[in-house]
Amino acid sequence: MDHGRLRDEVSIETVGEEVIVHHRFIDLRLPRGWVDKTPEIRAILNREADSDALGFQDKQVNGIVEFLKLQDCFFHSRAKDAYSLREIKDIFESIALGWFARYYRHPVWNRLRRGELNLNGFLAWVLHNYHVSRAAGKSGSRCAVLFPKRELRKFFRSDVLEEYWHCDAFYFVRHPDLSISDDDVKSYVPLPASLAFEQYTVAVAETDWLAHLLISYFQESSIRFYADCQKFYSEVEAAYNLPDFFKTWTAHMRLDFDHGHADNFVEILSSSDNVSHELFVGSLAAAWFAFSFLYSSLDQIEAEAAKGAAVTLRKPIRGGVLDPSTSSLCRVVRRVEGTNLLEFARVFASLDELQPFEPGHTAFLANGVLEALFYAMSFSTEHDEIIVLGRLIEAFPSGKDSAVQDHTSSAAMAIVSFLRAQACSAKTLLFVIQIAINLGCEWARPAAGGRTRLEAFLKTDAVIDRDGWDRFATSALQWIELLNWGAGASEACPSSFEI
């Protein structure tokens, strides 16, 4: 049991003659010489002693410790076999504050504040917010139908009707100094992490009601930063010379505040209903992935800015033409075409080379492919689709489910979420699996008999119009982006949370 140790998120930095304690939104600067001569403070900062285990006679030491306590720098474990939802909310509040602090420490915010991010980056950030808003109605709709408790289903049936239209009312780019049409916004291909957030939260609504409540509470409770947002928006408007750009965003915040959206989730999480420790820990991990996608989107916004100064939106493919000058989703200039999906998959696999995936991710990813195949069979209505899906399932190892492990990365979860989202169309799912196979992803490769079945199915002459081929092309590029993210460095789910 922990009795007052420094929280994991507290970092200590020595800069010149100062020792700086960083925690969430505060920095405490202490004279280095005083810290070196004060064993009690040194022991606490080095995590060699808990604050509760020491008696402090010195008034200065006591004052520092009390200040750190007021800033919630010390952790006291509340772990037990089961928790009420009210206890879960209180524990999660500390975790959420740490997530908020990390999110708002990202360098992209100062770059926006100072106008240092070019318009590509600025618009990527703006449209990321559009996509997050658009996702609310989708994931909430799953809750309205599939949540286990009637009162929660009833709540989400009302909540969805309050949320689904916000992307339409508040997040278009209707500014006279920016030539971005409503159609440009609606067709903008989401950043990989924006897409992952949408697809993942929809899936979580089906599988983990508590995680979805925690994610929703985290999002809605950002209203606490209302005043800071107002100031930030004013600074960004001035930096980019876009007066009144955020007036609809602030109107959205006022609407959320007036409707008490955050208070609604506080009320839901004030129940005395009990939840087991195991379920709570699993739901915290599930909620962390949603946060990680929001955080990763900030890195990807900066990456979008780095592609060039000229404004180039992430437009979907049109007419089978890949051209980085017209869509930043593309990396090469090329016309893509094929007579069948097998040939089309080979074309896209030839456009890129992947680094090998970390071995620790392969079991999780292979299980994600298998689950997506099962899911696709549940949607399929065509005889040939059902048979090829079944043969593919048989061609994968029949091991037990590979659940989320400590080392599961956010990118690996994004890949699995994408596969699941494609499962509503067997052809699309099998197409992207074939691309992964062609790119050397061993976790996507079934046994030889399954590969033969898959290739024969995709080789069948497809009756697909030009728009259909373009949709497959756009999906292929999104998929390759996710695979590149997964093969690179990506943050892993924490091994534990401070409960």
Report pTM: 0.93
Beta strands in 227-369 (DSSP E): 274-276, 321-322, 334-335
Contacts of 464 (CB under 8 A, 6+ apart): 472
Confidence of residue 1 (pLDDT cuts 50, 70, 90): low
Q: Please tell me the least confidently modeled range out of 91-95, 271-275, 373-377, 463-467.
A: 463-467
Short-list 288, 215, 279, 285, CA closest to 82: 279
Distance CA 428, CA 450 (A): 17
pLDDT of the residue at 202 = 97
Q: Quick: pLDDT tens for 116-134.
A: 999 999 999 999 999 999 9
pLDDT at 377 over 90: yes
Confidence of residue 359 (pLDDT cuts 50, 70, 90): low
Average pLDDT over residues 181-210: 97
pLDDT at 185 over 60: yes
pLDDT of the residue at 256 = 86
Q: Please tell me the least confidently modeled range out of 10-24, 257-271, 305-319, 367-381.
A: 257-271
The CATH superfamily assigned to 82-305 is Heme oxygenase-like (1.20.910.10)
Q: Quick: pLDDT tens for 119-178.
A: 999 999 999 999 999 999 999 999 999 999 999 999 999 999 999 999 999 999 999 999
pLDDT at 402 over 70: no
Confidence of residue 335 (pLDDT cuts 50, 70, 90): very high
Q: Quick: pLDDT tens for 388-401.
A: 999 999 999 875 55
pLDDT of the residue at 424 = 95
SS3 category, 10: coil
Confidence of residue 88 (pLDDT cuts 50, 70, 90): very high
Tokens of 367: 């299980």
Q: Write down the CATH number for the domain with range 337-487.
A: 1.20.910
Confidence of residue 206 (pLDDT cuts 50, 70, 90): very high
pLDDT of the residue at 259 = 80
Average pLDDT over residues 344-369: 86
Distance CA 482, CA 422 (A): 14
Enumerate the domain spans of the chain: 3-76, 82-305, 337-487
Distance CA 193, CA 221 (A): 21
- Continuous H helices in 107-225: 108-113, 119-146, 150-163, 166-170, 182-187, 192-207, 209-220
Average pLDDT over residues 448-475: 91
Decide whether 82-305 matches 337-487 in CATH topology. Answer: yes
pLDDT at 56 over 70: no
pLDDT at 351 over 70: yes
CA dihedral (310, 312, 318, 319) in degrees, to 10, reads 20
- Angle among Cα 406, 410, 413 to the nearest 5 degrees reads 90
Packed helices 410-422 and 192-207: angle between N→C axes, nearest 10 degrees:
70
Q: Which residues pair with 21 in a beta bridge?
A: 12, 28
Buried b (16+ CB within 10 A) or exposed e, 181-219: eeebbeebbbbbbbbbbbbbbbbbbeebbbbbbbbbbbb
What average pLDDT does the structure give for the chain?
Answer: 93
Contacts of 157 (CB under 8 A, 6+ apart): 144
Q: Quick: pLDDT tens for 251-305.
A: 999 998 888 788 899 999 998 889 999 999 999 999 999 999 999 999 999 999 9
Distance CA 40, CA 284 (A): 34
SS3 category, 319: coil
367: left (phi over 0), alpha (psi -120 to 50) or beta: alpha
- For a pLDDT cut of 90, what percent of the chain falls above it? 83
Q: Are 396 and 370 in contact (CB under 8 A)?
A: yes
Give the position of tokens 């509470």: 217
Tokens of 191: 């950043």
